[in-house]
Amino acid sequence: MSTHPATAPIEPQRDLKIPRHLGVIMDGNGRWANQRGLSRSEGHRAGVEAVRRIVGFAIEYGVQCLTLFSFSAENWRRPPDEVRFIFGLLRRFVSSDLEKLHAQNVRIRIIGDRDGLDRGMRGTIDDVESRTAGNSGLNLVIAFNYGAKTEIVSATKAIARKVSAGELRLEEIDESTIDQHLDTSGLPDPDLILRTSGEMRLSNFLLWQSAYAELVFVEENWPEFDESVFVRALKSYTKRDRRFGGIRT
Ligand code: IPE
Ligand code: IPE
Ligand code: MG
């Protein structure tokens, strides 16, 4: 949406369905950079600008929860320099943008395995989460050092511990027990998962939570993400007939 309707390339879509929870697999930073003769780091840097844009669109269009896949448990397989650079970017992003996000009433949550992170990083994460915990606007969830299978293993262990301690009976375990022990506990399941760069896979992102998510794949690389890509994804989502196993009434 633009504040200048006369010159706006995109008209606000009154009939656009807005997902309550949008998950984004931000892929293609490296290819974007490669196509321009730039380093992969430049691609990741440009990716941070796209993060700023999507947070703005999510607020503007009324998405309640936005989960961004920033670093996967499998991304440790990359060269150490690239891993270090991505870690530095996240730290700089949260410290430089924290005040603005806080002023916009954004609540930040970081999901993923914290044990694999250094103390400085864990401190930064605790700080942004506690600073914004009381905010009631957009829930911005950053999946960092996140892998859905590891998340499910951790939840299983936590539940098993409760059973063996006599705090929980085996018969009481149901889907909501699992939900409550995942990193995303308390958040609605994603309605829409968007992946950029033309890849059509989930790469270990929110596997349990996405059981009934709509999937949209776009060709643009993540640094190219803009309002037209966002609106195109929402239009595609709006056309979907979500039946959840039932039939259309
Ligand atoms: C996404 O871009 C960012 C991360 C996975 C951290 P990539 O770095 O995967 O970019 P491509 O897929 O190599 O183009
Ligand atoms: C998925 O992208 C992870 C993130 C976007 C953070 P990858 O680039 O790591 O995924 P694969 O390896 O192509 O499946
Ligand atoms: Mg990739």
Is residue 69 within 6 Å of ligand 2 at its C-beta?
yes
In a domain, residue 6? The reply is no
Is residue 30 within 6 Å of ligand 1 at its C-beta?
yes
pLDDT, residue 244, reads: 94
Distance CA 222, CA 45 (A): 11
The larger pLDDT score, comparing residue 203 to residue 241, is at: 203
Distance CA 52, CA 58 (A): 10
Strands 214-217 and 65-72: unpaired
Q: What is the pTM of this model?
A: 0.94
Residue showing tokens 């640094």: 223
C-alpha 14 – ligand 2 centre gap (Å): 33
- Using one digit for the tens of pLDDT, what is the confidence trace for 83-100? 999 999 999 999 899 999
DSSP 2-39: -S-TTT-SS---TT----SEEEEE---HHHHHHHTT--
Is 75 part of the annotated catalytic residue set? yes
Q: What rounded mean pLDDT belongs to the chain? A: 94
In a domain, residue 15? The reply is no
The larger pLDDT score, comparing residue 3 to residue 226, is at: 226
In a domain, residue 13? The reply is no
C-alpha 181 – ligand 3 centre gap (Å): 28
Q: Which of 15, 29, 34, 75 is catalytic?
A: 75
Is 139 part of the annotated catalytic residue set? no
Mean pLDDT throughout 62-77?
A: 98
Q: Residue 29 CA: which ligand is closest?
A: 1
Domain with 194 in it: 21-238
- The answer to whether residues 73 and 204 touch, using CB atoms and an 8 Å cutoff, is yes
In a domain, residue 10? The reply is no
In a domain, residue 14? The reply is no
The model's confidence at residue 14, banded by pLDDT at 50, 70 and 90, is: low
Mean pLDDT throughout 43-55?
A: 98
Q: Residue 146 CA: which ligand is closest?
A: 2
In a domain, residue 243? The reply is no
- Burial letters for 39-76: b for 16+ Cβ neighbours within 10 Å, e otherwise? ebbbbbbbbbebbebbbebbbebebbbbbbbbbbbebe
Mean pLDDT throughout 159-179?
A: 98
The model's confidence at residue 13, banded by pLDDT at 50, 70 and 90, is: low
In a domain, residue 33? The reply is yes
Number of domains making up the chain? 1
Mean pLDDT throughout 51-79?
A: 98
Q: Is pLDDT above 50 for 1?
A: no
The larger pLDDT score, comparing residue 11 to residue 234, is at: 234
The model's confidence at residue 2, banded by pLDDT at 50, 70 and 90, is: very low
Distance CA 24, CA 248 (A): 28
Specify the CATH number for the domain of residue 60.
3.40.1180.10
- Using one digit for the tens of pLDDT, what is the confidence trace for 100-158? 999 999 999 999 999 989 999 999 999 999 999 999 999 999 999 999 999 999 999 99
Q: Which of 27, 97, 183, 191 is catalytic?
A: 27
Q: Is pLDDT above 60 for 7?
A: no
- Using one digit for the tens of pLDDT, what is the confidence trace for 172-195? 999 999 999 999 999 999 999 999
In a domain, residue 16? The reply is no
Q: Is pLDDT above 60 for 19?
A: yes
Q: Is pLDDT above 60 for 74?
A: yes
- Using one digit for the tens of pLDDT, what is the confidence trace for 206-243? 999 999 999 999 999 999 999 999 999 999 999 999 99
